[in-house]
């Protein structure tokens, strides 16, 4: 049997992904965006590669409570220095934000809209990775 050397993880606090059995979701209910970015950084240090920009769509922490990251583990790939730099820059943006928007602080109607925006922004990345068709 051939050993698979590549796998994916969709790290998110977006409830739109919560019940997606067709995707490799690591759903972090109620997590703030900075917690998702920090968890992504930790995975990069473990050899994972970042497949989307951590600040995609130019939404800043005070504008979007949801954050979704797609990471890939490929045992043949070198350490993702570029992804680490991007994610550390994103952490700096979160740290500098005095009032980041979190799921708990977001009104329900806005929360639904923000979840949908985050979901739509990730579609191209998921298509390119072959996780959706």
Per-residue pLDDT of the chain (133 residues; tens, 9 = 90+): 344 456 999 999 999 999 999 999 999 999 999 999 999 999 999 999 999 999 987 888 989 999 999 999 998 999 999 999 999 999 999 999 988 899 999 999 999 999 999 999 999 999 999 999 8
Tell me the sheet residues that pair with 7: 73
Does residue 101 lie within any of the structural domains? yes
Does residue 1 lie within any of the structural domains? no
Domain count for the chain, please give it: 1
Per-residue 3-state assignment (H helix, E strand, C coil) for the chain: CCCCCEEEEEEECCHHHCCCCCCCEEECCCCCHHHHHHHHHHHHHCCEEECCCCCHHHCCCCCCCCCEEEEEEECCCCCCHHHHHHHHHHHHHHHHCCCCCCHHHCCHHHHHHHHHHHHHHHHHHHHHHCCCC
Does residue 110 lie within any of the structural domains? yes
Does residue 40 lie within any of the structural domains? yes
Residue 1: predicted pLDDT: 39
Does residue 88 lie within any of the structural domains? yes
Domain range for residue 115? 6-129
Is the overall model pTM greater than 0.95, yes or no?
no
Residue 11: predicted pLDDT: 97
Residue 2: predicted pLDDT: 41
């Amino acid at each position: 049997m051939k050993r698979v050397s590549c796998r994916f993880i969709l790290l998110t606090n977006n409830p739109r992904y919560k019940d997606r059995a067709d995707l490799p979701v690591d759903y972090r209910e109620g997590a703030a965006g900075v917690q998702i970015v920090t968890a992504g950084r930790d995975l990069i240090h473990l050899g994972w590669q970042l497949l989307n920009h951590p600040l995609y769509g130019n939404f800043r922490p005070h504008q979007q409570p949801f954050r979704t990251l797609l990471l890939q583990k490929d045992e043949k790939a070198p350490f993702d220095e570029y992804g680490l730099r991007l994610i550390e820059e994103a952490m700096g943006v979160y740290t500098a934000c005095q009032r980041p928007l979190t799921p708990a602080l977001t009104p329900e109607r806005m929360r639904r809209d923000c979840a949908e925006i985050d979901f739509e922004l990730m579609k191209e990345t998921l298509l390119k990775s072959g996780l959706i068709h």
